[in-house]
Amino acid sequence: MVIDFDSAEWTPNYEFKGGKGTFYNKMTTDGSTKIMLGRLEPGASIGYHRHTGEAEMLYVLSGSGIELVDDGEVAVCPGECHYCQDGHSHSLINTSESDDLVFFSVIK
């Protein structure tokens, strides 16, 4: 399967999972796996949420921010891969004042 994110439309998600601002995504799913290109505007976030029955791998393509993970906080920057295991919680926050935070994610 080839996924052409370039020809897909961005879907806006306002205050996604209780976050702030707008999270945009281009996503495909086969019913059990979600494959997504995501984008957070400056100051936007994906709300803190728990993964139950699934895990998420997130690869940062551009921009910067922080990820709240269980009881901690880690910086995110391009080239890093972050993994949230089943049963764990996280949030993603774009801390930039001018650049989008863009990432590739697989949820299974």
Q: What is the pLDDT of residues 15-26, one digit of tens each?
A: 999 999 999 999
**Quick one: average pLDDT of 76-93?**
97
Would you list the domain boundaries of the chain? Answer: 54-108
Give Dmax (Cα) for the chain.
38
Name the helix (H) or strand (E) containing 61: strand 56-62
**Quick one: average pLDDT of 75-98?**
96
State the pTM of this model. 0.94
Return d(Cα 97, Cα 108) in angstroms, integer.
Answer: 32
pLDDT for res 1:
84
Token reading at 17: 């999972």
**54-108, CATH topology level:** Jelly Rolls (2.60.120)
pLDDT for res 71:
85
Q: Are 99 and 63 in contact (CB under 8 A)?
A: yes
Chain mean pLDDT for the chain? 96
